[in-house]
Chains A and B, each alone.
Chain A
């Protein structure tokens, strides 16, 4: 622990800390471009110079490249240092195109700040300016190479941190070029991070191009709603339009970065088809009329058929506040027909995941620090993209990554691969739960046993499970295995990928409540006459769409509260528009049980760009803002229950009511969140595994999540919609030969949900005997929902 003196203040830092970081601890900000906490030092920009007066090194040195040592006396602002930095700025500016007025980085550009701070104004160098041609880097990133200052942050982010291979540095000497070998979209699903790391305007957000200046944006700390990891983001909005999302630092979850689904999935909030008005029977009415009409109908049904005739449903998209109030309202209505997820198998898997010993649950930071990660039935890039990036960081530090999965899995890092079909998971998990034993009855058990031994031997072992493929039973077995592979001093941590951003909250609240299957039966038998859906879409999320459509059609009343035009909204008798995450406040609990709150970024309303159709704002004054009707779901629920919409009071009540949520009212949106400490009770009964038999001329149908197109909200974002692939099915070469199928040709897939014409892909890196289809919303594959028991299917040429 070296102790050194910086600007007359003494500081003691851990061994290996550089002087720049040491100064930061004292609140002294040394100007820098190329150093980045997550990327390390390279000494490329020469801006972080400081003067060493005493100690092992003397004179002007780069503070990012000099490790702190005992006895150092550092001056960060001597006259000589300031003159040196001013010169560095001046030479970095010799080739600058002087185009700040048309540069999107303007206002948040480090080069601007440093140039002004360094006092450089007039270019003295009279030689010619170097120029470059730009490249088209795809739908997300704009390239303007003339602005580059050769800090190498982009390459270090793209290649080292994110594992991308198609972007790098070319050229030599003063003609370095940061780009691809040729034009084309960036391939990494983390490419958007280049926008955040580039300190100048070379790499900027294409979806935000020329939309605003940063000083005009409304921003607030928020949470990404596009998967269960709950990464920290800062969305920015202007003129009622959500215009961009940037990564926000949370060292426990995403660190400095986010994935492209999170960064560019924001478009759903501005979607032109977003329903913004209360509707009764598809007719636009006022809030008062709609609420009154719904309540009188509810009362009528309650009187006629009893309170058990009302079913309530929320989803993993709903905030903890909404879920809690839904539960309260169900109690007030006297109904026990309340469910927090329309997909029963996913529902119970989440409940099992939330019932484990939570000190063993791993955060993304634990993933980054593990030395062995075993993933069972998990495809991180599709189900929780930032997990893939966290695994890469672990592997860079020497961790071993093992993936056991039937699908072709891609990771931005090398890993060990076992293609194992889902029906063998139970054998594998049995072996995994029995480390240090020899008598295995099958090779699968033996594989499990050897992995278990490796987990026992590892220092920071980690088991990661995808609940879609594991199901509730598999999730439970994985937890048992983790327990068996734990030692008191080094527990085997677990992480489960859940359905959505607040699956965990729903799981905690549902306890032993019914699954949606039992609500479904109620509707089919006519016991349940009314269904109230709070940010839930049972039509799209219940695995059997024919069945859910028929059941919903039997209802006397379907009320939907949502922010997107879902399939269920189309069928609703009463519709109430709700706000998006960015338009309201709330709490989400991520997949590890971390409670995180988010703040309101802007108020709901039809974007000016849309309501004024690209022209100037209206030239008259009016009190009502077009499209500003959406209200937060928990606010509507408060109104329905005759409570005041007081968030603090509500959070205190949640805390008081359920001690597992302790600390909720103290949570700050820009903090690291707070881990739930007490697990929920284990669900009493799990839905049974009903494996259908697969005939010899059939394949097993496996529906999986995919990076773009599966998650509801991001699939509505126009820039991601472009990337949704044409519907396809993937089979093993053996099966392709067996059924005489050819790569790229159209095939007919006979599924229980109907016959689909798809493009065939052949992939050797998967198990034979399965047909894998991604869930792609808005395509023919929409009715196929992941996370179900395996079903049989036929495949043939068309």
Chain B
């Protein structure tokens, strides 16, 4: 009984292999031919711009706080019009595990993942990316959201003129 089972167990895998020998391969000849991953693939990170063309990132440190391997660092700064932005922003992709937690934490949709996966290199410093290398010229996956047009602190539009806001209170008057 058990002898029969052992013989079957030895031959069957060979048979499976033999069968696949005559089928069309599923692999492609990388790098001559490249796979196009699904749009939600978690590849290299980018920083996007808002529909007005301004940098979306406000250097809020939420991505760096969420990152389980601590590969994001930055310094915030203030532009003359009160806009908070990243003076510098660095992602060390040699440490990144492409978990996507940073993009989930990002409140401004600035940080997004792309389908780019070709990051292998012998030069580690090539994958330590500064803001200039991360920042793209478009909105990425969402071309609507604009943090500063929703946050009521009057950076993109004068105070009290964002959608759903009443004009500033006149503090010199007690009239309704």
**Interface residues, chain A, with chain B CB atoms under 8 Å away:** 96-102, 106, 128-134, 144, 146, 170-173, 175, 177, 179, 209-213, 215-216, 239, 609, 614-617, 619-620
Given the interface pairs A98-B151, A101-B62, the reply to whether A131 lies near B84 with Cβ below 8 Å is: no
Given A100-B107, A131-B159, A131-B160: 11 more A-B contacts, CB < 8 Å:
A97-B153, A101-B60, A102-B153, A129-B152, A131-B154, A131-B167, A132-B171, A146-B152, A146-B159, A239-B75, A614-B87
B159 touches A133 (CB 8 A): yes
Residues of B within 8 A of A210 (CB): 59, 76-78, 84
Given A101-B107, A102-B84, A102-B151 in contact, is the A175-B60 Cβ separation under 8 Å?
no
Residue B104, interface by CB 8 Å: no
User: Once the chains bind, are B166 and A130 in contact (CB under 8 Å)?
Assistant: yes
Residue of B nearest to A96 (CB): B152
Minimum C-beta distance from B123 to chain A (A):
12
Q: Which residues of B contact A133 (CB under 8 A)?
A: 159, 168, 171
Partner of A171, one of B60, B159, B174: B174
CB distance from B40 to the nearest CB of A (A): 24
A132 near B84 with CB under 8 A, answer no
Task: Give CA–CA (A239, B61) in the complex, Å.
Answer: 14
Structural contact, B168 and A213, CB atoms closer than 8 A: no
Q: Are B169 and A616 in contact (CB under 8 A)?
A: no
A102-B151, A211-B76 given; A616·B88 CB < 8 A: yes
* Option from B77, B131, B171 in Cβ contact (under 8 Å) with A170: B171
Shortest beta-carbon distance from A530 to chain B in Å: 45
Q: Identify the closest chain A residue to B172 (Cβ).
A: A170
CA distance A101 to B107 in the complex (A): 7
Chain B residues numbered 84-113 whose CB sits less than 8 Å from any CB in chain A:
84, 87-90, 107-108
- Which residues on B are within 8 Å of A, measured CB to CB? 58-62, 64-65, 73, 75-78, 84, 87-90, 107-108, 125, 128, 130-131, 147, 150-154, 159-160, 164-169, 171, 174, 176
11 A–B contact pairs at CB < 8 A? Answer: A98-B152, A101-B60, A129-B166, A132-B171, A133-B159, A213-B61, A216-B64, A614-B87, A616-B88, A616-B90, A616-B130
* B77, B128, B151: the one within 8 Å of A99 (CB): B151
Q: In whole Å, how far is A29's beta carbon from the nearest beta carbon of chain B?
A: 24
The answer to whether A172 and B174 touch across the interface, beta carbons within 8 angstroms, is yes
For B159, the chain A residues whose CB sits under 8 A away are 131-134, 146
Check if B125 sits within 8 Å of A619, measured CB to CB.
Answer: yes
A99–B83 alpha-carbon span in the complex (Å): 12
B164 touches A129 (CB 8 A): yes
Identify the closest chain A residue to B132 (Cβ). A616
**Known A102-B58, A102-B60, A619-B128: A132·B168 in contact at CB below 8 Å:** yes
Q: Are the CB atoms of A97 and B152 closer together than 8 Å?
A: yes
Residues of the B chain whose Cβ atoms lie less than 8 Å from the Cβ of A131: 152, 154, 159-160, 165-169
Q: B104: shortest Cβ distance to chain A, in Å?
A: 14
Contact residue among B61, B78, B150, B153 (Cβ-Cβ distance under 8 Å from A144): B153
Give chain A nearest CB distance to B46 CB in angstroms. Answer: 17
Cβ A128 vs Cβ B164 within 8 A: yes
Q: Main SS of chain B's interface residues?
A: mixed
Chain A residues within 8 Å of B78, by CB = 209-210
Q: Give the residues in chain B near A179, CB-CB below 8 Å.
A: 171
A724 to B40, CA, bound (A): 58
| Chain A, interface SS category | loop
A132 contacts across to B, CB distance below 8 A: 159, 168-169, 171
How many residue pairs bridge A and B at CB < 8 Å? 99
Q: In whole angstroms, how far apart are the Cα atoms of A144 and B152 in the complex?
A: 10
B94 to chain A, nearest CB (A): 13
> Nearest A residue to B84 by beta-carbon distance?
A102
A residues in contact with B160, CB < 8 Å: 131
**For the complex, what is the distance from the CA of A209 to the CA of B59, rounded to whole Å?**
12
A166 nearest CB across to chain B (Å) = 15
Residues of B within 8 A of A134 (CB): 159
Whether A97 and B167, one on each chain, are in contact in the complex, defined by CB atoms closer than 8 angstroms, is no
Chain A hits for B61, CB < 8 A = 212-213, 215-216
Which residue on B lies nearest to A211, using beta carbons? B76
Give bound CA distance, A124 to B150, whole Å. Answer: 16
Least CB distance, B84 to chain A, in whole angstroms:
4
| Minimum CB distance partner of B125 in chain A | A619
CA distance A228 to B164 in the complex (A): 53
- B75 partner residues in chain A, CB cutoff 8 A: 239, 609, 616
Find chain B residues with CB under 8 A from A106 CB.
Answer: 60
Question: Within the complex, what minimum Cβ distance (angstroms) separates B169 from chain A?
Answer: 5
**Do B152 and A177 have beta carbons less than 8 Å apart?**
no
Task: Check A615 against B88 for contact (C-beta < 8 Å).
Answer: yes
CA distance A179 to B88 in the complex (A): 34
Task: Please indicate the chain A residues that have their CB under 8 angstroms from the CB of B108 in the complex.
Answer: 101
Nearest Cβ distance between residue B15 and chain A, in whole angstroms? 55
Cα A231 to Cα B160 with chains together (Å) = 42
C-alpha gap A212/B154 in the complex (Å): 22
Is A97 a contact of B151 with CB atoms below 8 Å?
yes
Q: How far is the CB of A519 from chain B (nearest CB, A)?
A: 48
Minimal beta-carbon separation of B89 from chain A (angstroms): 8
CB distance from A459 to the nearest CB of B (A): 45
- Distance of A624 from chain B, by nearest CB (Å): 20
- Chain A residue with Cβ nearest B59: A210
Distance (Å) between the CB of A349 and the closest chain B CB? 47
Tell me the smallest distance from the CB of B82 to a CB of chain A, in Å. 9
Min CB distance, A478 to chain B, in Å? 49
Chain B residues in 8 Å Cβ range of A144? 153
- Asked if residues A101 and B88 are in contact (CB atoms below 8 Å), the reply is no
A210 CA / B169 CA spacing, docked (Å): 27
Once bound together, how far apart are the Cα atoms of A358 and B15, in whole Å? Answer: 96
Q: How far is the CA of A504 from the CA of B105 in the complex (A)?
A: 51
A617 CB to closest chain B CB, in angstroms?
A: 8
A612's closest neighbor in chain B, by CB? B88
Would A99 and B153 count as touching, CB distance under 8 A? yes
Per the bound structure, the CA–CA distance linking A19 and B176 in Å amounts to: 37
| Complex Cα gap A100–B168 (Å) | 20
- Asked if B65 and A171 make an inter-chain contact with CB atoms under 8 angstroms apart, the answer reads no
Write the chain A residue with the least CB distance to B161. Answer: A131
> Which residues on B sit within 8 Å (CB–CB) of A215?
61, 65
Interchain CA distance A265-B8 in the complex, whole Å: 83
Q: What's the minimum C-beta distance from B163 to chain A, rounded to whole angstroms?
A: 9
Interface contact A129-B165, CB-CB below 8 Å: yes
Residue with the highest number of chain B CB atoms closer than 10 Å, among A131, A171, A173? A131
The 8 A-B pairs with the shortest beta carbon distances in the complex, nearest first, are A97-B152, A99-B151, A616-B88, A101-B60, A131-B160, A210-B76, A128-B166, A213-B61
Q: A97-B152, A144-B153 are in contact. Are A128 and B165 (CB under 8 A)?
A: yes
A144 to B153, CA, bound (A): 8
Distance (whole angstroms) from the CB of B156 to the closest CB of chain A: 12
- Residue contact B152 to A171, C-beta cutoff 8 Å: no
* Chain A residue contacts of B174, Cβ below 8 A: 171-172
Cβ of A171: which chain B residues have Cβ within 8 Å of it? 169, 171, 174
CA distance A430 to B128 in the complex (A): 75
A210-B76, A616-B130 known; A101-B147 Cβ under 8 A: yes
Report chain B residues within 8 Å CB of A213: 60-61, 65
Measured CA separation A609–B75 after assembly (Å):
9
| Bound complex: CA A177 to CA B76 (Å) | 29
Q: How far is the CA of A215 from the CA of B90 in the complex (A)?
A: 18
Interface residue from B62, B73, B147, B169 paired with A175 (Cβ < 8 Å)? B169
Which residues on the A side are within 8 Å of B62 (C-beta)?
Answer: 101
A132 to B147, CA, bound (A): 19
CA separation between A617 and B75, bound complex, in Å? 10
Bound together, the chains give a CA A98 to CA B89 distance in angstroms of 24
Q: Which residue of A lies closest to B57 (CB)?
A: A101
Shortest beta-carbon distance from B70 to chain A in Å = 11
Cα–Cα, bound, A216→B62 (Å):
11
- Provide the bound-state CA to CA distance between A131 and B60, in Å: 23
Cα distance, A624 to B153, chains bound together (Å):
43
CA distance A97 to B174 in the complex (A): 23
Complex Cα gap A132–B159 (Å):
7
- Which residues of B lie under 8 Å from residue A175 when comparing CB positions? 169, 171
- Bound: A98/B164 CA distance, A: 12
Give A373 to B128 CA distance when docked, in angstroms.
Answer: 63
